[in-house]
Structure 1
C-alpha cells in the first residue's frame, strides 16, 4: 500500500490526487497499466510531484501534442515499459461555416459539454477560426460526438475522427531575454519578462490572473527560482532560466517567454 495520507499532505487537488493514488495502487497490484481521465495543468503538476517520491511506480502524461495543457496520465509499475502510446486519446474535427457567426473556445467547449459529457473526458480544444475546431477526447466518445454534437452557436457542424498527426497546432512563439533586478520577487521578474509596468503586474496578481507552476498566486512578493513557470491569462508563459549574482549584488535572470 502507498502512504496515502503522507502523499496527500499539502495537496490542493485532493480528490483528484486521491483517485490517482487509487489507480497507482491498482497498477501495483495487477501489473497492468492504468489511466487517469484528462487532468488540468495544476493537477498534472501535483501528480508528477507525487510520482517523483515513489520508486516502485511510474507515470507518463500525454495530451496529443507536445504543448498540450490537458493530458491523461498512464501509470505502471517501474518494471513495465511505458511510453505515450499507452495513453489512449483520440482527436475529432468539428467543421462548419463560422464566417458570419464566430465561435470562441468557450462556445465549442460549451457545445461539447452540452451533449452530456463531462470536462474530464475532454482534452485541449484547438479553434480554427471560421472553419471550426479540433478537439482531443477519450476514444470511447468519438462515435457519441459524431451523433450528438450537431450545432455550435447557430452553426450546424459535422464531427469526424482525425489522426493526431492532423491536429493544426500553432507552435508557440519563443523569445529569450535577460533582465537584471534587485530581487527575485514575482512582480519584478514577471513585469520584466512580459514587458509591462510593475503596478500593472501587481494588479494582475491581485486579480488572480497569474499562476506560478500552474498554481494561482496572489502575493506579488514571493520569490521565483530557476525552473519556475509563470503564466498570465491571455498573455502567455514565462520560464525562469539560470539565475546569477552580479558584482553589484543584483540578480541576472535568463528568461524565455512563450506566446
Structure 2
C-alpha cells in the first residue's frame, strides 16, 4: 500500500477501536472500490469490532462502513439520504451525465467522500449523500451543467431499488473472470486481461488481479470507468463442453 492507502487503513482500524472502547456505533464516509478493498483485505484481527458496509441500496458501488461495538444486536440506520434531481423544464433539459452531476456537487464544495453513488435515469438523477449534507445540497443545487433543476430529499426510491440492466447470454469455455468480462464488454481478451492486471476490476468489492479468477453465482463485478455486471450463473452446458451463462450489465 502507498502512504495514502496506509493512512486510510489506520483510520478504519481507529474507527473500529473507538466503536469498541466507547460502546457506540460509528460510520465511515463513503468508500470507493479501492478503499473498500483495503477494508475487506485488512486482517480481521486488526479490528476490535465487527463491521458491515452499505451504500443506500443492495447493488451500491460506493459504500459506508459501520463499526459495531460487539456481537449484540444494534438498532441503527445508515446516515444516508437520497436526493432526487429533476429538470425544471424537461423541454429545455440537456442529457446530463454522471460527470455533470458530480461536477455540480464539487462546485458546491462537497467532498467526494460525502457522496455515494450517482444514478442517472432518463431525465432524473438520484444522488446518495451523507445525511448531514442533504439539506444543504437540496437547497443549493439549482443548476447542473446549463440545466436548471429541482431537488427533493428521500422521494421516489424503494429500499430494493435496482438500476436498469441489460441481460446478456452467451457461451464461454470456463467461468473465469476474463471470459465473463469478454462476454459483457466488446473488448479483446488481451485488453480485458490488461484491465484486470492494471487493478481496475473488483469482485464484490475486492480487487482481483488474476484473469483466471473463478466466479461464483451472483458475484458483482465492477470495472473502473466501464460499469458493473452481475454474473447470474450457468444456464446449461453444450455438447462441446462450453457453458451458456447469463449476466446482467447495468446501464
TM-score of the superposition, structure 1-length normalised?
Answer: 0.73
The answer for the alignment partner of 2:18 in structure 1 is 26
Task: Determine the C-alpha separation between the residues in 2 that align with 1:108 and 1:86.
Answer: 26
**Equivalent position SS for 2:29:** coil
Q: What displacement does 1:34 show?
A: 0.7
Which residue in 2 is equivalent to 1:40?
Answer: 32
Alignment of 1:171-182 (within 5 A): 171-173=163-165, 175=167, 179=171, 181=173
Structure-2 residue corresponding to 1:119: 112
Counterparts of residues 52-63 of structure 1 (less than 5 Å): 52=44, 56-63=48-55
Q: Which runs of 5+ in 2 are unaligned?
A: none
CA distance in structure 1 between the aligned counterparts of 2:221 and 2:139, rounded to whole angstroms: 40
Instruction: Indicate how the Cα distance of structure 1 residues 184 and 91 shifts in structure 2: closer, same or farther if over 3 A, else same.
Output: closer
- For 1:206, the equivalent position in structure 2 comes to 194
Number of residue-to-residue matches in the alignment: 239
Residues 1:224 and 2:217 aligned together = no
CA contact (8 A) 1:240 1:254 kept: no
**Residue 162 of structure 1: CA displacement?**
1.9
1:86 aligns with 2:74: no
Q: Structure 1 stretch 25-34 or stretch 89-98: which is displaced more?
A: 89-98
Superposition deviation, residue 25 in structure 1: 0.8
C-alpha distance in 2, partners of 1:150/1:13? 35
- Is the 2:84–2:151 Cα contact (8 Å) retained in structure 1? yes
Q: How does 1:6-25 map to 2 (within 5 A)?
A: 13-25=5-17
Deviation at 1:155, TM superposition (A): 1.5
The answer to which structure, 1 or 2, has the higher relative contact order (CA under 8 A, 6+ apart) is: 2
Kept in 2, the 8 Å contact 1:236–1:257? The answer is no
CA RMSD of aligned residues (A): 3.9
Quote the Cα distance in structure 2 between the aligned partners of 1:136 and 1:108: 12
- 3-state SS of the aligned residue for 2:51? strand
Question: Which of 90, 99, 107 is equivalent to 1:106?
Answer: 99
Following superposition, the deviation at residue 239 of structure 1 comes to 3.0
| Cα separation, partners in 2 of 1:77 and 1:51, compared to 1, 3 Å | farther
State the alpha-carbon separation in 2 of the partners of residues 163 and 147 from structure 1. 15
Determine helix, strand or coil for the equivalent of 2:42: helix
Task: Give the TM-score of the pair, scaled to structure 2.
Answer: 0.75
Larger radius of gyration, structure 1 or 2? Answer: 1
Aligned position for 1:3: none
SS of residue in 1 equivalent to 2:24: coil
- 1:194 counterpart = 2:187: no
> Partners in 1 of 2:9 and 2:91 — Cα distance?
42
SS in 2 for 1:38: strand
Any idea what the Cα deviations from partners look like across 1:127-175, whole Å, max 9, x if unmatched?
2333x31211111112211332121111222222124745894445475
